[in-house]
Structure 1
Amino acid sequence: MQRIVASDFETTATPPALGEDELHLWLFERPPGLSPRAMSALAHAELGRLLGAYAGNTEPPALARDTHGKPFALDGGHPHFNLSHGGERIALAFARRHAVGVDVETAHRRAAPLDLATRFFAGDEARALSGIDDAEALHAAFVDLWTCKEAVLKALGRGLAFGLDRLRFELDRDGPRALAEIAAEAGHVSDWHVARFDAGGAHAGAVAWRGDALRVRAFRAGARL
């Protein structure tokens, strides 16, 4: 599985041309004192700004939602996209010909990760997590796995309603290593690509897509108010 580390992020506010063989990942930090509601508004403002820029427009496009609730641009010329915000981070992903999914989560400790894994994850995943003795390492592995699963489900367009247990990742000491199984209706495992990214500041993230291999370019920009 590809890993995108902090040094891979380019610093810019203006998106370069998005090639058909590329996926662009954007990461923003929450400005100090911003409320959760304002954070959500900022995420959608940045989404509109970048969608407009990728289409060569100054105005954001009108958006609609499909039958499963995934948003898309109504008019042509705009790339596929996905958005996530969690903790102090906003993540956005764009691709020309591929549906994409992205998830970013705070890595601050939550209660009972093994209970959640047993309830929602595949049995092999829960058993692998149960073998991690260190509480901090267990929590980090749980969050990494969650982001990988949610990114795939968002790229699929079904979200959590599809079932977190209907796809399984292989895990090692560093967390999720590869997608090992997925329900037949979601295609073959070999069709899927997942990249984990370093979101910094005790956050974890992952981006996923189905289809051809793409070059992932990562960008970090100061959030705009």
Structure 2
Amino acid sequence: MSGLAAPARDVLPAATAEAGVWLLAESQVEPLAAAAPPEEVLSDDERDRVARLRGPGARRRGLGARLLARLLLARYAGVRPSVLSFATRWHGRPELSPNPWRLRFNLSHSEGLIACVVTSEVPCGVDVQRPVGQDVLHHLAMALSEPEAARLSVLRPGPPQARVLVDTWTVKEAYTKALGVGLRYGFEHLTVEGLPDGPVSLHDARVRHAEDRPWRFRLDHLPTGHSLAVAVRRPGPAPYPIVVRQFMDSPHISLEGVAL
């Protein structure tokens, strides 16, 4: 549950060296769009999709997510953001196509915050959730496995239970998004372990237990109140850290270095 990493270099870290997680505050979407105009960065289809979203908040977050993904992927690939193209895979997951750089990415947004994770070839998923009301907590509780429900029952009702519920859901979302299957996978087959104090791991009853081990998880409680979870399938025995940074405040990212 550690805090955000302090950037230590003035160049973008290689996607082969780490899973880079980048956060964009919703309040920063308009300044970002002013610096990187959507008509110069996004495709016509992307702008149309954003325009069709209901409500100004949804449109703002949708625009921020698409700008964030294109600008990040362009910097990792060393190309102009506008030349990137995407294809929709199973369950609506977008991927670069063509993708000679072998980059993988995943997006999530919740009111107030947008997140994007980028890796090289490695399956990855990210989910961000803001604090929710009692009606939503009841819905989240229906997705618990039996061991999770038993552990939750011994926690004090109120904020402790609510935090564990949201964290459990967020980790499961990140994992199933990394798999590319989404909510249809059946969250009751997944058991998140290590909550409330970590370290976090996950057991998937649908696979052999030995296959759980290559997955690495990171869970953060952000100053904004959001829970952030990242799931990465480790490429091998070498360390592959998950590093979280702020997009607009990081020296790794300079819009002056992006050829629009």
Query: What is the TM-score normalised by the length of structure 2?
Result: 0.75
SS of the residue corresponding to residue 129 of structure 1 reads: helix
Structure with the largest fraction of helix: 2
Q: CA deviation at 1:189?
A: 1.0
* Partner residue, 1:124: 147
Aligned equivalent of 2:65, options 43, 59, 63: 43
Long gaps (5+) in structure 1: none
> 4+ runs of 1 displaced by more than 6 Å?
none
Contact 1:68 1:158 in 2 (8 A): yes
* Partner residue, 1:163: 186
* Partner residue, 2:258: none
Q: CA deviation at 1:21?
A: 3.1
Q: CA deviation at 1:131?
A: 1.7
- For residues 102 and 190 of structure 2, the distance between their equivalents in structure 1, rounded to whole angstroms, comes to 30
- For residues 6 and 152 of structure 2, the distance between their equivalents in structure 1, rounded to whole angstroms, comes to 30
Q: Give the aligned length.
A: 219
Query: What is the TM-score normalised by the length of structure 1?
Result: 0.86
Q: CA deviation at 1:107?
A: 1.7
Structure with the largest fraction of strand: 1
CA 1:31–1:196: 2 relative to 1, 3 Å:
same
- Tell me the alpha carbon deviations over residues 54-85 of structure 1, each in whole angstroms, 9 at most, x when there is no partner: 10012241111112321100022251000000
Q: Which moved more, 1:169-178 or 1:125-134?
A: 169-178
* Partner residue, 1:87: 111
- AA in 1 matched with 2:74: G
Identity over aligned pairs, percent: 25
CA 1:172–1:219: 2 relative to 1, 3 Å:
closer
Q: CA deviation at 1:118?
A: 4.4
- Tell me the alpha carbon deviations over residues 18-67 of structure 1, each in whole angstroms, 9 at most, x when there is no partner: 24131101011111796221221111111111111110012241111112
CA 1:187–1:81: 2 relative to 1, 3 Å:
farther
- For residues 188 and 20 of structure 1, the distance between their equivalents in structure 2, rounded to whole angstroms, comes to 22
Q: CA deviation at 1:220?
A: 0.5
Aligned equivalent of 2:231, options 189, 198, 208: 208
- For residues 55 and 112 of structure 1, the distance between their equivalents in structure 2, rounded to whole angstroms, comes to 39
Long gaps (5+) in structure 2: 31-55, 250-254, 256-260
CA 1:80–1:211: 2 relative to 1, 3 Å:
same
